[in-house]
Chain A
Amino acid sequence: MTAATAALACAGLSRHFGALRAVDRVELSLPPGARHALIGPNGAGKSTLFRLLTGGLRPTAGQIWLDGADITPTSEARRARLGIGQTFQHASLFLSMTAGENVALAAELRLGRPWWPAPAARRAVRERTGELLAQVGLADRAGRKAAALSHGERRQLEVAVALATEPRVLLLDEPAAGLSPAESARLAALIQRLPAHVTLLFVEHDLDLVFRLATRVTVMHLGAVLLSGTPEEVRLSPAVQAAYLGTGRRQDLFLPPDPAARDAEAADATSAD
């Protein structure tokens, strides 16, 4: 599958902070409708990669394609308009507004005219808001202020808000973080009900959720892709287990000052396994 047929793809994607290689030449290719999980131990670079894909951070090198079009230079807002939706790790809602208003604000962009009160558009936005809230299980919470919702309900609202922009690609940043097992299960069911044409990439620590929802998993370690494969392959891989148990070297995160030394290291690493 080439970049041209993938819904979301990146190649050689890197982000350095000085000498720190937070993301190192990552390559990903998500077919349309994918259910793809991104996992890895803390500090692996998942959040940084996530932000590179959504446009919140500029890459040091590499390219990103959306449906074959190069979106590397485009801004976060423009990517959102092109069809990339996201939820935030720390639920990012409009706390002074009700749940319904939160979703409406997102839906307004697709269905309404945010600068002109057209009654027909308002009606369409209201209907869509109702549908989405029902879809995520918050139909009875429409009038409640977002600040008054429980943590789990806010997560559900996050998803509704993201869906309201009708994304082609949806990126979820640790959607189950801080959820109880019951809430987690509800969220998993919600994600399973998402439209099949939406390409899904989610970063998660909860491995049960990952193995339940994902058809492909990418494991990151020290900024680079360690392994990309089916959940089974990942679960059984000794390299992945070693990474999670912390046998990686911290100095691998940093660029060695001498290019010859870097090449020698790379030669060592590939011959070690």
Chain B
Amino acid sequence: MNRPGWGALPWRRWGLLAALALALAAAPLVLAPYAVTTLTRILVFALLAVSLDLLVGYTGLPSLGHGAYFGVGAYAAGWVAIHATASAPVTLAVAAAAGGLVAVFAGLVAVRARGVYFLMLTLAIAEIVQQLAESWHDVTGGSNGLYGIPAATLGGNALVGDQPVYWWVLAVFAAGILVLRAIAASPLGDTLRGICDNEARMRALGYRVYLYKLAAFVIAGSIAGLAGGLLAAQQRLVTPGDLGLGTSIPALLAVIIGGEGSLWGPCFGAAVVIVIRDYLGSTLGGHGSLLLGVVFVAVVYLLPGGLARAIRGRT
């Protein structure tokens, strides 16, 4: 599995990151509105994918139901915006908290299992959350979804239009990535890597493995919820499809294609997934999923460790 060294980054890396950050910040000034909204969606999805990587790549817990916490965050943010306040920071905080809370309950059960059992459990849990979203009409709007979400406001100004929304999303995305990176570099990150590498040994050393796994699950769920809050702010509409396998599976694909365990790989994986599924797909008569499936199978066979490892060239 990919295990990036989190020591001081060399000058070249810093330079690259700075250039990338600058390019992303300046993008709306040069790109057409359609491209800007696409990039916004990629950023939201990338944040979801990186949060999933904390589970899959760092802790070794393959989740096929991560979309549930994303969707819960989106619904929570939307609901608060409609019924209470549309203040952007508040809706995002609620989104993250909602995602984290549901993750606590789901994690208490799911984290007891390992490997493929865990995968099955997360799948079942996510499916149940989606069914709940479809049937709880009063709160979620049922299968029609939650629509008419007002624009998020930041300091009194509404975020309307592709550019302001983009910059807000970019800012939150950057913050989210920094938080995840900080966690990965911290002792908690080392503990999670240890659990992934050799859980039995961690137990024999005295670590309360269950609690750490649960912590990783909840953190990942909170950040996924945060990303969901961004979705609500951008799309101003949340449907049950945002919760279910239609989100969970592409998220896992993004992590694997980008390279699990690298934290930056899934960002590229997210871009690949969205571009293939939504853009190449439309040129193929709507069969983006098929192409995505083929790419995914190719990556699993030929590029273990995803794009990240292929680019780094290390084994």
- The answer to whether A and B touch directly, with their CB atoms under 8 angstroms apart, is yes
Where the two chains meet, the residues of A that have a C-beta atom closer than 8 Å to any C-beta of B are 54, 56, 76-78, 80-81, 86, 88, 92-97, 101, 104-106, 108-109, 112-117, 121-122, 161, 165
B206 touches A165 (CB 8 A): yes
A92 touches B1 (CB 8 A): no
Q: Which of B173-210 contact A (CB under 8 A)?
A: 185-188, 190-191, 193-194, 197-198, 200-209
The smallest beta-carbon distance between B183 and chain A, in angstroms, is 9
Q: Report how far A161 CA is from B201 CA in the complex, Å.
A: 10
Q: Report how far A81 CA is from B201 CA in the complex, Å.
A: 13
Residue of B nearest to A86 (CB): B204
Q: Report how far A97 CA is from B193 CA in the complex, Å.
A: 9
Q: How large is the interface on B (under 10, 10 to 19, 20 to 34, 35 or more residues)?
A: 20 to 34
Q: Specify which of A54, A113, A115 is in contact with B204 (CB 8 Å cutoff).
A: A54
Residues of A within 8 A of B185 (CB): 117
Residue of B nearest to A165 (CB): B205
The smallest beta-carbon distance between B215 and chain A, in angstroms, is 7
Given the interface pairs A77-B208, A109-B207, the reply to whether A114 lies near B201 with Cβ below 8 Å is no
Residues of B within 8 A of A165 (CB): 205-206
The number of inter-chain residue pairs (CB within 8 angstroms) is 80
Given the interface pairs A54-B204, A76-B204, A109-B205, the reply to whether A115 lies near B188 with Cβ below 8 Å is yes
B205 touches A106 (CB 8 A): yes
The smallest beta-carbon distance between B207 and chain A, in angstroms, is 6
Residue of A nearest to B208 (CB): A77
Q: Which of B201-254 contact A (CB under 8 A)?
A: 201-209, 212, 215
B198 touches A80 (CB 8 A): no
Q: Report how far A78 CA is from B204 CA in the complex, Å.
A: 9
Interface CB pairs A-B, < 8 A, 23: A56-B204, A76-B203, A77-B203, A77-B205, A77-B209, A78-B206, A86-B204, A88-B201, A88-B204, A96-B3, A97-B3, A97-B193, A97-B194, A97-B197, A104-B190, A105-B190, A108-B190, A109-B206, A115-B212, A116-B187, A117-B187, A121-B187, A161-B205
Where the two chains meet, the residues of B that have a C-beta atom closer than 8 Å to any C-beta of A are 1, 3, 185-188, 190-191, 193-194, 197-198, 200-209, 212, 215
Name, among A81, A94, A105, A165, the residue most crowded by chain B CB atoms within 10 Å (CB to CB). A105
Residues of A within 8 A of B186 (CB): 115-117
Residue of B nearest to A102 (CB): B194
9 more CB-based (< 8 A) A-B contacts, given A80-B204, A92-B201, A112-B187:
A77-B204, A80-B206, A93-B201, A97-B3, A97-B193, A97-B197, A105-B202, A109-B205, A117-B185
The smallest beta-carbon distance between B304 and chain A, in angstroms, is 14
A105 touches B191 (CB 8 A): yes
Residues of B within 8 A of A56 (CB): 204
Report the 6 A-B pairs with minimum CB-CB distance, sorted nearest first: A80-B206, A81-B206, A94-B197, A117-B186, A92-B201, A77-B203
B3 touches A108 (CB 8 A): no
Given the interface pairs A94-B193, A96-B1, the reply to whether A114 lies near B204 with Cβ below 8 Å is no
Q: Specify which of B3, B197, B203, B207 is in contact with A114 (CB 8 Å cutoff).
A: B207
Q: Specify which of B194, B197, B206, B215 is in contact with A77 (CB 8 Å cutoff).
A: B206
B201 touches A94 (CB 8 A): yes
Q: Report how far A116 CA is from B191 CA in the complex, Å.
A: 11
Residues of B within 8 A of A161 (CB): 205
Q: Report how far A101 CA is from B191 CA in the complex, Å.
A: 10
Residues of B within 8 A of A92 (CB): 198, 200-201, 204
Q: Report how far A106 CA is from B205 CA in the complex, Å.
A: 6
The smallest beta-carbon distance between A52 and chain B, in angstroms, is 14
Q: Report how far A88 CA is from B215 CA in the complex, Å.
A: 28
A94 touches B198 (CB 8 A): yes
Residue of B nearest to A158 (CB): B201
Residues of B within 8 A of A121 (CB): 187
The smallest beta-carbon distance between B163 and chain A, in angstroms, is 37
Given the interface pairs A77-B209, A93-B198, A96-B197, the reply to whether A115 lies near B203 with Cβ below 8 Å is no
Given the interface pairs A80-B205, A115-B215, the reply to whether A105 lies near B194 with Cβ below 8 Å is yes
Q: Report how far A101 CA is from B197 CA in the complex, Å.
A: 12
Residues of B within 8 A of A113 (CB): 187
The smallest beta-carbon distance between B67 and chain A, in angstroms, is 27
Residues of A within 8 A of B204 (CB): 54, 56, 76-77, 80, 86, 88, 92
Residues of B within 8 A of A80 (CB): 203-206
Q: Report how far A143 CA is from B102 CA in the complex, Å.
A: 41
Residue of B nearest to A117 (CB): B186
Q: Report how far A101 CA is from B188 CA in the complex, Å.
A: 13
Q: Specify which of A54, A93, A114, A122 is in contact with B191 (CB 8 Å cutoff).
A: A114
Residues of A within 8 A of B207 (CB): 77, 109, 114
Residue of A nearest to B188 (CB): A115
Given the interface pairs A93-B201, A96-B193, the reply to whether A108 lies near B187 with Cβ below 8 Å is yes
